[in-house]
Amino acid sequence: MTVPVLVTVGDDALGRLTAVVAALESAGMRVDRVLPEIATITGAADQGAFAALRAVSGVDGVERAGPGFAVPHPGKGVQ
């Protein structure tokens, strides 16, 4: 099953971010966004690919992304 994923990149790998992204894609990740300012890459991958993603040189961490943040409709009561 494909799940949303957050990948954190080590400071030492920020200079070769393009290569890290290519390696993550080769390991089975669909990359949606690259955020160099916060050393994070977002996308989706099968849970079974997490070990391969963690093995990519320059990757510090791989975790399943949590649910998105949503603001309630202005007409709703206080929550």
Say yes or no to pLDDT of 72 above 90. no
17 within some domain: yes
13 within some domain: yes
Domain count, the chain: 1
pLDDT in tens, 28-55: 999 999 999 999 999 999 999 999 999 9
> Which domain does 36 fall in, by range?
2-64
78 within some domain: no
49 within some domain: yes
33 within some domain: yes
58 within some domain: yes
Name the strand (E) or helix (H) holding 63: strand 59-64
Dihedral sign, Cα of residue 15, residue 41, residue 56, residue 22: negative
Burial class from Cβ neighbours inside 10 Å (0-12, 13-18, 19+) for residue 25 reads middle
Give every strand in the sheet of 30-35, ordered side by side. Answer: 30-35, 40-46, 2-9, 59-64
Domain harbouring 59, CATH code = 3.30.70.80
Share of the chain above pLDDT 70, in %: 90
Q: At 68, is the pLDDT very low, low, confident or very high (cuts 50, 70, 90)?
A: low
